């Protein structure tokens, strides 16, 4: 069934894709992902997915069509392909496709078919994670909220109402893919699909209904006859023929392995960083650690499919981020929020992919063995009659031991894996990063500080219960009232105050299970409180208030910063205000829970859609004057689009918390007042896709909850302004180049060129790409050689060789080349 020749040809195709990407430009390629006539089903065995009759080594990157724009998709996919990927993986987002039961939306950035066709046009495969529960730091885990109101429903268990809706949606997506000819046997790019998502994490909560549901979901999926395998991630007991897969940081260590010898080891989520949440500092995962984890999974688990979550994170536009998750999503991924390549992760992983693909034949068809090389060192070998590859692993985080493997000595860097082609030639080291580094800069192109261009509108504070659409003698649950169509729910109650003679203080106490609570008494702001992602589930506001004699109105604004995305029994989760009381001096506590409450869903400005050009005039805007740092205020102005093709972002550091729209498109929530432990906002820059903009008169509207200064907002362009390479002369030459020597390779983003060399030293330069200086050994020609090779060009390469720099400046000393260049 399998032939060595076929595998070699496939390996060469995969390797060549990275080598020829620069010449390919924006051209379309179809040699991988589809376009042929019917080609037979995708199957699998104990080593790999079997595509077109042969086992495949697959590197995948997760990117979500909903978190970018159709105009961004071609470049994102092209850069993924150039990075050595041959699969794009995505979830399917039920709540964007069926926001109202029976009403569907597959337009714009929700055009799933268009996204898949773009992947196919560029010659890549697709891994389609239908779910339909997806988590993904996406509101309500991807479920449409109307599902919550289906009678007698219990999510994700052996519950007939839930199963009927789940089966209906999954079937609809599968049929849509079939009708468009997008499954591999039809000539399309989809080679694998996923049903459910990390169910094992919640399964015990459902008792015997959990296993029954797993079996049902598997049988339902298989019955749809897609011609490609199905998988379940984090489901060790996935029923045959479903493949159980791993999610996590170190699946080479934590994965229990396939639950059948006939299933391959697949890693569906290799977390490239940690998703950011408001109130936390960004935590980036090191390039070296990601590469180590991938190599270990391939070596130890015989892994043949690795997907990076995320390869491009993008932007949580609108209100789609889940609880406390920032608008920017996985900005530290190989392709950042804007689609730029600036961390060395992209290039280092490209080298890893090339090294693995170089030895795909023994990895996929060879005999596996392993041996100990020391207390914390081991070798994993894959060997056929003609080919061999070895992975030398060093788990020691501090020492660089020398090991002997097949009569050859190798020095291993701390916590590293070295890949040996033909079991003797080192072609890649996870701990040695020779890829280009970059520095991303946000440049202010317009300051929106002209007070005369700004207008303000004070959000009305509701105080007349008789005008409220809903009333009741109880505190209603937040999401049941809002249906998750707004973050905001007003709770309004009247309180009759009789002052005491001793002038005792009056204390308002409110307890809520929402995320933020703002309190107003007789329309005057009296205080706020908020929670956090990892804090207690309830928040408590205690504040002294001033009341007038007689009737007073207490207006409480309950705010959700995203709905939950995970956990068992999401349909039972309760949010919103739970208890409200008044304490007047030493008098008994007056509980207000059972008083007559009025409710207003959403903000007045939201309901009027005053953030759109068409409806902005439906309210009376005033001069901004003294309305900066004023709670619950809308602001609007206009600005011109920056010239050029650089990414655009708004710096909202001067604001507090709210939501922002450009030309009627919500670019997401902001919450810069919630500082991280570093004292900085978790997110300051908010991406405005180029497609949202017109040349002039772009309408910018913000709703500010707690107070900020819009006059300090700036429009910025975001680009890579500095590139750097630091390569040792003993490094292995890059596999995607033809050179025999290691090289420093620099490349500016499209539309820019190398304008200056900030630093260049061949010798033993001190420091790295952020802090650098010449060392005791320095070739005098370093700067002139680099300038001649690079100035005025988009990219350049300089061999790390004495011959290039007029000879060896210091014999006997190990040398490196460190170059830092400016891109303009």
Closest to 229 (Cα-Cα) out of 327, 125, 84: 125
CA 642 to chain CA centroid, nearest Å? 26
Q: How far apart are CA 282 and CA 77, in angstroms?
A: 25
269 is annotated as an active-site residue: yes
Q: Tell me the three state secondary structure of residue 66.
A: helix
DSSP state of 682: S
* Catalytic option among 269, 378, 571, 705: 269
3-state secondary structure (DSSP) of residue 792? coil
Q: Are 120 and 33 spatial neighbours (Cβ–Cβ below 8 Å)?
A: yes
The HSE-up count of residue 95 (CA atoms within 13 Å, CB side) is 24
Residue 571 a catalytic site member: no
Q: Give the C-alpha distances (Å, rounded to integers) separating 775 from 417, 425, 763, 767, 768.
A: 29, 31, 7, 9, 12
Q: Quick one: how many helices (H) and strands (E) in the chain?
A: 14, 44
Residue 581 CB contacts under 8 Å (≥ 6 apart), including other chains: 508, 509, 510, 589, 590, 591, 592
Which backbone phi and psi does 141 adopt, to 5 degrees? 60, 20
Q: In what order do the strands lie in the sheet with 43-44?
A: 43-44, 49-51, 54-56
Q: How many CB atoms lie within 10 A of CB 113?
A: 14
Cβ(763)–Cβ(810) below 8 Å: yes
Q: Which residues of 235-253 are buried (b: 16+ CB within 10 A; e: fewer)?
A: beebbeebbbbbbbbebbe
* Among 792, 799, 800, 801, residue whose Cα is nearest residue 821: 792
| Spatial separation of the C-alpha atoms in residues 92 and 194, rounded to whole Å | 10
- Assigned token pair, 737: 């180049």
**CA 566 remoteness from chain centre:** 16
Backbone angles phi, psi at 25, to 5 degrees: 60, -130
CB 320 within 8 A of CB 302: no
Q: Which of 390, 236, 306 is nearest to 48 (CA)?
A: 306
CA dist 299 and 56 (Å) reads: 16
Rounded-to-integer distance, Cα 515 and Cα 674, Å: 12
Maximum distance among all Cα pairs of the chain, rounded to whole angstroms? 99
Six token digits for residue 540: 């408590």
Structure tokens at 12: 């060469």
Structure tokens at 437: 């580094």
Active-site residue (options: 135, 137, 196, 198): 198
Quick check: 353 and 124 in contact, CB under 8 A? no
Please choose, from the candidates 515, 555, 558, 560, the residue with its C-alpha nearest in 3D space to the C-alpha of residue 534.
515
Distance CA 313, CA 334 (A): 9
Given its phi and psi angles, is residue 406 left (phi above 0), alpha (psi -120 to 50 degrees) or beta? left
The residues annotated with a catalytic role in the active site are: 198, 269
């Amino acid at each position: 069934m399998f032939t060595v020749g076929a595998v070699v040809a496939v390996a060469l195709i995969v390797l060549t894709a990275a080598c020829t990407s620069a010449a390919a430009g924006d051209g379309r390629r179809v040699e991988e992902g589809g376009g042929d006539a019917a080609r037979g089903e995708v199957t699998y065995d104990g080593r790999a997915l079997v595509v077109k009759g042969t086992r495949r080594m697959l590197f995948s990157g997760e990117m979500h069509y909903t978190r970018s724009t159709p105009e961004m998709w071609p470049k994102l996919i092209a850069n993924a392909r150039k990075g050595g990927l041959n699969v794009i993986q995505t979830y399917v987002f039920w709540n964007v496709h069926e926001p109202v039961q029976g009403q569907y939306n597959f337009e714009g950035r929700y055009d799933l078919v268009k996204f898949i066709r773009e992947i196919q046009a560029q010659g890549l495969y697709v891994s389609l994670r239908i779910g339909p529960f997806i988590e993904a730091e996406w509101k309500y885990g991807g479920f449409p909220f109307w599902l919550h109101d289906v009678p007698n429903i219990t999510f994700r268990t052996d519950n007939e109402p839930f199963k009927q809706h789940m089966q209906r949606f999954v079937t609809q997506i599968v049929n849509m893919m079939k009708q468009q000819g997008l499954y591999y046997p039809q000539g399309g790019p989809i080679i694998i699909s996923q049903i459910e998502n990390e169910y094992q994490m919640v399964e015990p909560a459902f008792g015997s209904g959990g296993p029954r549901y797993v079996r049902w979901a598997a049988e339902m999926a298989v019955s749809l006859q897609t011609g490609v395998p199905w998988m379940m991630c984090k489901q060790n007991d996935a029923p045959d023929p479903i493949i159980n897969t791993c999610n996590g940081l170190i699946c080479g260590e934590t994965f229990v392995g396939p639950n059948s010898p006939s299933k391959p080891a697949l890693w569906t989520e290799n977390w490239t960083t940690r998703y950011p949440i408001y109130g936390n500092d960004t935590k980036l995962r090191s390039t070296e650690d990601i590469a180590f984890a991938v190599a270990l999974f391939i070596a130890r688990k015989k892994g043949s499919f690795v997907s990076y979550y995320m390869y491009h994170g993008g932007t949580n536009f609108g209100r789609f981020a889940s609880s406390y998750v920032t608008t920017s999503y996985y900005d530290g991924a190989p392709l950042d929020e804007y689609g730029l390549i600036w961390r060395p992760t992209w290039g280092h992983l490209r080298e890893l992919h090339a090294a693995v693909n170089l030895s795909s034949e023994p990895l996929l068809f060879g005999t596996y063995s392993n041996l100990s090389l020391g207390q914390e060192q081991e070798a994993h070998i894959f060997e056929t009659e003609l080919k061999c590859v070895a992975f030398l692993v060093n788990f020691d985080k501090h020492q660089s031991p020398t090991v002997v493997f097949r009569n050859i000595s190798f020095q291993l860097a701390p916590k590293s894996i070295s890949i040996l082609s033909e079991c003797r030639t080192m072609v890649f080291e996870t701990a040695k990063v020779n890829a280009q580094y970059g520095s991303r800069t946000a440049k202010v192109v317009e300051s929106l500080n002209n007070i005369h261009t700004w207008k303000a509108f004070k959000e009305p504070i509701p105080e007349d219960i008789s005008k409220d659409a809903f009333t009741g003698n109880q505190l209603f649950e937040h999401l049941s009232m809002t249906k998750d169509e707004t973050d905001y729910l007003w709770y309004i109650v009247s309180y009759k105050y009789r002052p005491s003679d001793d002038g005792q203080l009056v204390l308002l106490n409110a307890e809520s299970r929402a995320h933020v609570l703002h309190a107003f008494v007789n329309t005057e702001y009296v205080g706020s409180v908020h929670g956090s992602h990892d804090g207690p589930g309830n928040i408590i506001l205690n504040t002294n208030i001033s009341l007038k004699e007689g009737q007073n109105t207490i207006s409480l604004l309950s705010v959700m910063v995203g709905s939950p995305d995970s956990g068992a029994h999401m349909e039972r989760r309760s949010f919103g205000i739970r208890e409200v009381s008044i304490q007047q001096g030493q008098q008994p506590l007056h509980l207000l829970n059972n008083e007559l409450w009025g409710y207003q869903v959403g903000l007045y400005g939201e309901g009027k859609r005053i953030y759109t050009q068409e409806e902005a005039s439906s309210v009376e805007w005033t001069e901004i004057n003294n309305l900066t740092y004023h709670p619950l205020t809308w602001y609007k102005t206009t600005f011109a689009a920056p010239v050029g093709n650089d990414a655009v972002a708004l710096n909202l550091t001067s604001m507090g918390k709210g939501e922002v729209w450009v030309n009627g498109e919500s670019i997401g929530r902001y919450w810069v007042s919630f500082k991280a432990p570093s004292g900085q906002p978790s997110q300051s820059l908010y991406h405005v896709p180029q497609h949202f903009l017109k040349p002039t008169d772009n309408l910018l509207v913000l709703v500010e909850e707690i107070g900020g200064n819009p006059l300090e907002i700036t429009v910025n362009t975001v680009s890579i302004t500095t590139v750097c390479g630091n390569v040792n002369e003993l490094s292995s030459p890059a596999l995607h180049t033809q050179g025999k020597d290691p090289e420093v390779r620099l490349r500016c983003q499209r539309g820019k060129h190398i304008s200056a060399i900030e630093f260049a030293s061949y010798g033993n330069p001190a420091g790295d790409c952020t802090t650098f200086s010449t060392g005791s050994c320095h070739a005098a020609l370093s700067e002139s050689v680099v300038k001649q090779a690079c100035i005025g060009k988009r990219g350049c390469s300089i061999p790390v060789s004495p011959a290039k720099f007029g000879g060896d400046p210091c014999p006997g000393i190990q040398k490196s080349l460190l170059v830092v260049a400016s891109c303009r």
